[in-house]
Amino acid sequence: MFSDWNRRRAARRVKPGDGRPLPPYRWWQPLSRALMHLDLVGVDGRSERWSVDLRLWGDSDGEVRAHLFRDERHQAGSRLPARFPVPGGAIEVQASEFGLRRCHYVTATGESRQLEPEPRSAEGRRARLERRSPGLSRLIGAVSVLVLLAGLGLGVPQLVQQVSEIPPLADRFGTFASPVRLSGWTNVALALATAAASTERALRLRYHWLLDGGVTGSGEGQHGQ
C-alpha cells in the first residue's frame, strides 16, 4: 500500500493523456510490456474498461512510465510509482527490476484488488497456468522461493567479504572471510537463476524486500511470499 506521503508525491507525477488509442498487444512483447485491465462502472452508470500499460524497458526516452487508458483511449501517464484516480478509488502501480511489483485498484474504503492481466501477456499466461494447473503453479512458486533463498545464503557472504576488503573499511574494521567461495561461472549461474526466480514472481506480482530486493538490490517490497 502507498503511504499518504507517497500518494501525494504520486499525484503530482500524473500528467494528462492525449487521447491516443491503446496499441494492440503483439506476440513479441511478453517480456517487454505489461498490460493490466480493470472493469468499473462509471459516474454515468456505464461499464468502463480501465487499462494500465507499461513498457518495462522504458518509453522512447528510456523512462519507465505507467499509462492509463479508459476504453482504449489514453487518459494519463506517470513516472513510477504511479497512482491514478479512477471511479471509486485509485489504481496504484509499482515496478521492480524484473517486472510488475504492484498494480492494484484501491477503493476509497481501503479495499484492494489486483488488476487482471492481458491474456496474451506473460502475466496473463502465468495466471492461466495457475488456474489450469494450481499444483504445478505452487511447485514453480516454491522453487522460485528456494532459489532466491539459496541466492541470499550463497551470495550475501561473498558480497560482505568484497565490501569488507575496501581499504578504508578494512583498515578500520578488518576483513570478513566468507565461508562460501564459488567460482566465477557458478556465481554467474546463481545470478541468472535468481533473476529468473524474481522474474517468475514478478509475473504473479509477488515481491518481498528480502527475497526479491535482497539479492537484486531493489527497494522495499509490498507483497509477501
What DSSP string describes 158-204? HHHHHHHTSHHHHHHH-----S----HHHHHHHHHHHHHHHHHHHHT
Residue 155, pLDDT score = 79
CA 84 – CA 145 distance, rounded (Å): 31
Q: What is the pLDDT of residues 103-149, one digit of tens each?
A: 999 998 989 999 999 999 999 999 999 999 999 999 999 999 999 99
Q: Which phi and psi (to 5°) does residue 50 adopt?
A: -100, 135
**Residues linked to residue 48 through DSSP beta bridges, in sequence order:** 40
CA 186 – CA 173 distance, rounded (Å): 29
CA 119 – CA 68 distance, rounded (Å): 18
Domain at 4-117, CATH from 1.10.3210, 2.60.40, 2.60.120, 2.40.128: 2.40.128
Place of cell 487508458: 69
Residue 221, pLDDT score = 37
Residue 3, pLDDT score = 72
6 by DSSP, 3-state: which? helix
**Residues linked to residue 79 through DSSP beta bridges, in sequence order:** 65
CA 145 – CA 195 distance, rounded (Å): 12
Residue 93, pLDDT score = 96
Residue in 87, 98, 78, 130 with CA at minimum distance from that of residue 34? 98
Residue 224, pLDDT score = 43
Q: Is the pTM of this model over 0.85?
A: no
* Span(s) in the chain for CATH 2.40.128: 4-117
Residue 219, pLDDT score = 34
Class of residue 145 by CB neighbours under 10 A (exposed 0-12, middle 13-18, buried 19+): middle
**Which ranges of the chain have pLDDT less than 50?**
215-225
- For residue 65, give the H/E element and its range: strand 65-70
Residue 1, pLDDT score = 61
5 by DSSP, 3-state: which? helix
